[in-house]
Chain A
Amino acid sequence: MKQKRLLVDWLVFIALTLAALFTLFPLLMALMNSFKTNGQLLTDVVGWPQSLNFDNYLRTWDKMHYLRSLGNNLYLAIISVTLIVLLSALAGWRLCRTKTKLSGFLFSLFVFSMLIPFSSIMIPLYRVVLVLKLKNSLFGLCLVYAGLGVSMAIFLYHGFVKGIPLELEEAAAIDGCTMRQTFFSIVMPMLSPITATIVITNALWIWNDFLLPLVVISKNDKYTLLLSTNTLFGQYSSDWTAILSALILAAVPVIIFYAIFQKRILEGIADGAVKG
């Protein structure tokens, strides 16, 4: 019995290890070949690089305007997520605390559209962007992300506020706190667990989003990392050493982010999915 258990354990371990290798395979291949010369890539794709030469990286670093693209990504993620958190926390909190017909109506107005797929509103949305002269505007893109992101965030905040006792806010009101003070110094701190979840899920979504920037941004200097990488792919067509180094460069920021906040990210993902 014990022996059988041990055997099963080993089989599970081997299966998991094989699956893990499969998962990492494309990343490893990309990383290894990004250090090779074109000649070595042609003769030996799966071998180790002969030396760590950063020539490919130096080439693509400039070509994809790495720092500028990275800056655009950071700008988009930080401003959009801040907007989503502030607007949704405020709205979700009041929607939960106010028990009127209007509040019920507004809440369902926010929630009902969560099922609408992005590709269904893409074209009318593009028209709104054109009319408001927001094409090629990074801040405009942040506003769009806020508009697309608030319903889910309001839904999550609304649910979380329900579980917080009302007494603290009442006490604050008796002590003469204005609504703004109550929101920023009493409510926001209590919301921080769900805020962490909302920040993580939205930051990852916006950071990795491709279709919306592809449609809204057409000027090189406003390109995100993904748009720059995509253009490079078109230019270099089959120069894989260049393309792979660009892919690695584009992936490195998220990998670092993942390495640092791994636990929080995984908790946040599970939390956001189950509550959503």
Chain B
Amino acid sequence: MKIRAKQNLSLLLCVLPALLVYGVFKLYPAVSGVYYAMTDWNGLSKTYSFVGLDNFAEVLTDGYYWQAMLFTLKYVLVMVVIANVIALMLAVAIESRRRAKGLFRTVFYMPNMISMVIGGYMWMFIFTRVLYFMSDNWGMTFLDQSWIGDPNYAFFAIIVVAAWGAIGYLMIIYMAALQGVSPQLKEAAYLDGANAWQTFWRVTFPMIGHALTICIFWTLNSAFQVFDVIYTLTGGGPGRATQSVALNIYEEAFQGNVRFGYATAKSTVLFAIVLVITIVQLRLMKGREQEL
């Protein structure tokens, strides 16, 4: 008993510094957020009052919020599919090569090193200047679109830039997983007369299920919070056509209204939705992994 108490004391001493910063800057905000979401706190005045579930009721009928949510869902769906398919294709292609593997890996990972703010502005230059030049001078007239100004093209532009920035990371994870697939298995499949296509889907793909779970989890999570790319590229415009939920919350809290309590209610709803979707995803995919 005494030993246990002593152990716990030394544990507490060692954990305390981490617990302190964690408690103050993550745990407390997370917990108190639920409370602020039920107040009319506006960030400027010192006093605020408890309004119960009024904010949540308002969120439910907030057209802009759900428009942003719908946009975000569309973005998440497209990103999860496109980024993962391309990343896996690149990983397989690079792994199939004997030479220049390192060079390709280096190049494809490069965008991940640079902040999406920088990447976003660079692409803005491409979309507003370079593509027009190509269309005017090289006869590539299909490039002559309002890439930032038209909602449909703006969505496409955002996906291009976001995928450009995310694919390298996913590719690295897929490559690590592919390297873990034993060559004997592939050899055996080859001897049994399987072609490359069959070998990939029947042997390799089931073996990298773990990487697939990680990558889809990561894409889901980061795509739901998308901010930098849209902030730099379209700023949520034209109008609010490309506004993501994170941008909508930022706008509510830090531009114009400063309705902190209400914005917190919005972010709580976002958290609940993300939580449910990621838990469902992990359950589904973990279950599949074990079957194999």
Contact = CB atoms under 8 A, between A and B. Distances in A.
A6 interface: no
Given A46-B134, A147-B26, A274-B214, A251 B175 contact: no
Interface string A207-234: 1111100010000000000100110010
Contacts of B122: 26-27, 29-30, 244, 247
A199 to B, nearest CB: 15
B94 interface: yes
Interface residues of A, number: 89
A146 to B, nearest CB: 5
Interface stretch (A51-59, A89-97, A188-196): A89-97
A91 B19 contact: yes
B175 A94 contact: no
A120 B270 contact: yes
Interface in A5-33: 9, 12-13, 15-16, 19-20, 23-27, 29-30, 33
B105 A95 contact: no
A116 interface: yes
A186 B134 CA distance: 61
Interface stretch (A62-70, A163-171, A262-270): A262-270
A121 B29 contact: yes
Contact of A273 (B104, B173, B225): B173
Given A98-B8, A106-B11, A13 B97 contact: yes
Nearest to B127: A26
B10 A179 contact: yes
A106 B19 contact: yes
B110 A24 contact: yes
Q: Is the interface of A mostly helix, strand, loop or mixed?
A: helix
Nearest to B98: A9
A94 B26 contact: no
Given A88-B18, A262-B106, A273-B218, A117 B271 contact: yes
A125 B29 contact: yes
A240 B94 CA distance: 36
Q: Is the interface of B mostly helix, strand, loop or mixed?
A: helix
A102 to B, nearest CB: 5
Nearest to A230: B117
A162 interface: no
A255 B30 contact: no
Given A87-B17, A266-B109, A210 B93 contact: no
State which size class the interface on B falls in: 35 or more
A105 to B, nearest CB: 11
B225 A29 contact: no
Contact of B25 (A123, A125, A265, A270): A125
Interface string B175-199: 1100000000000000000000000
A120 B4 CA distance: 38
Interface stretch (B142-150, B246-254, B284-292): B246-254
A112 B12 CA distance: 19
Contacts of A117: 221, 224-225, 270-271, 274
Given A16-B104, A98-B8, A229-B117, A113 B36 contact: no
B5 to A, nearest CB: 9
Contact of A119 (B115, B129, B249): B249
B221 A226 contact: no
Contacts of A233: 121, 232
B196 to A, nearest CB: 8
Contact of A124 (B7, B29, B211, B232): B29
7 contacts: A16-B97, A25-B126, A29-B125, A106-B19, A244-B125, A257-B113, A269-B109
Given A23-B111, A123-B249, A269-B172, 16 more contacts: A13-B100, A26-B123, A91-B14, A100-B8, A115-B274, A120-B271, A120-B274, A123-B33, A123-B264, A126-B260, A128-B29, A144-B25, A147-B25, A210-B231, A257-B113, A258-B110
